[in-house]
Amino acid sequence: MKRDTLVKDAKQLGNMLKSQAKSGGVFKALKEGAKVAMAGRSFLDGVPFSLHCIAEGRHQGAVDADMKRIAEIVREQGGESIENSIPKILRANPFPPPNSMLGPEGERWVPVHGFLPHSKLVPAWERLEALWAANAGEMERLKVETGALIAATGRTSCLIEPVFFWPGEHNPLHRHAVEADHLAKLTSRPDSPDANALVDRLKGEVIAIFRELGAIHLQVARTYPLRQSHDPQGWAMLEALKRQVDPKGLMNPGSLGL
């Protein structure tokens, strides 16, 4: 809500109108576009937690029934509906530039994630909150803040992605990947070794929590250790496979801990 400019808002809205027109005609596109424009960026003011849902199906009636039930569940839990700008905008603009690798005020930003069974979601969240509480004083002193994305990824798993924001300098990757006009508006603050160290430690503790709960990850062996997540027999099989297909150790030596 804080990052994009009005020009980019207009571009995203235009893409959304095209998407809506393809699926429901011009009248629907204008109607849905007007809702998004009227809501602006203020519809999440004062909202500490938001849930955004998309229902998919072969028949409109089935999709409408799913959305109706979702709204009922939210009301039963004390929630209320807001304008559905974010799903509509994201649906029409699925691959934005990676400007979000810096915070809206130019802060350093880094995510850490795990995929867990639904049955482990609440215990994981409670342990994360306990970790933030245990380190609240140090986080406040060094201006390290956290947020989280939680996404249902299927009937058997859910993503939890805590993110960290903290003041620090921009590195070469930021200067390469973030759009130049966006980067020019952001403040690069002096490097903070203490804040960097705190974020690294907290990231490691989050990964340890995920590993204890049996999480899986989208990457292995860089941020997320591979050997520690294998039992000895499984790791022995992986080492045997490596020896069989790469007996001289020529391919990516040292990668994956092999």
Q: 115: closest CA among 151, 149, 158?
A: 158
Task: Give the model's confidence band at 165: pLDDT under 50 very low, under 70 low, under 90 confident, else very high.
Answer: very high
Does residue 1 surpass a pLDDT of 60?
no
Distances (CA, A) of 55 to 39, 59, 87, 220: 22, 11, 10, 31
CA 199 to CA 194: how far, in whole Å?
Answer: 9
Q: Which residue has the higher pLDDT, 60 or 43?
A: 60
DSSP letter, residue 157: -
Does residue 10 surpass a pLDDT of 70?
no
Domains observed in the chain = 6-92 (no CATH), 101-225 (3.30.300.330)
Task: Give the model's confidence band at 21: pLDDT under 50 very low, under 70 low, under 90 confident, else very high.
Answer: low
CA 164 to CA 102: how far, in whole Å?
Answer: 10
Q: 114: closest CA among 14, 229, 191?
A: 229
Task: Give the model's confidence band at 228: pLDDT under 50 very low, under 70 low, under 90 confident, else very high.
Answer: confident
Task: Give the model's confidence band at 27: pLDDT under 50 very low, under 70 low, under 90 confident, else very high.
Answer: low
Q: Can you tell me the mean pLDDT for 184-206?
A: 94
Helix (H) or strand (E) holding 193: helix 193-212
Query: Each residue of 134-157: pLDDT tens digit?
Result: 999 999 999 999 999 999 888 899
**Cβ proximity of 190 and 107 under 8 Å:** no
Buried b (16+ CB within 10 A) or exposed e, 92-102: bbeeeeebeeb
Q: How far is CA 145 from the centre of its chain?
A: 15
Strand boundaries in the chain, DSSP class E = 108-111, 114-116, 145-152, 158-166
Q: Which residue has the higher pLDDT, 31 or 86?
A: 86
Q: Can you tell me the mean pLDDT for 2-24?
A: 64
Q: What is the pLDDT of residue 208?
A: 94
**Cβ proximity of 156 and 120 under 8 Å:** no
Please state, for a pLDDT cut of 70, what percent of the chain lies above it: 86
Does residue 26 surpass a pLDDT of 60?
yes
Q: Which residue has the higher pLDDT, 45 or 138?
A: 138
| Angle between helix 26-39 and 6-24 (nearest 10) | 150
**Cβ proximity of 108 and 166 under 8 Å:** yes
Q: What is the pLDDT of residue 149?
A: 92
How many C-beta neighbours within 10 Å does residue 62 have?
12
Q: Can you tell me the mean pLDDT for 63-89?
A: 90
CA 99 to CA 180: how far, in whole Å?
Answer: 10
Q: Can you tell me the mean pLDDT for 82-103?
A: 83
Task: Give the model's confidence band at 4: pLDDT under 50 very low, under 70 low, under 90 confident, else very high.
Answer: low
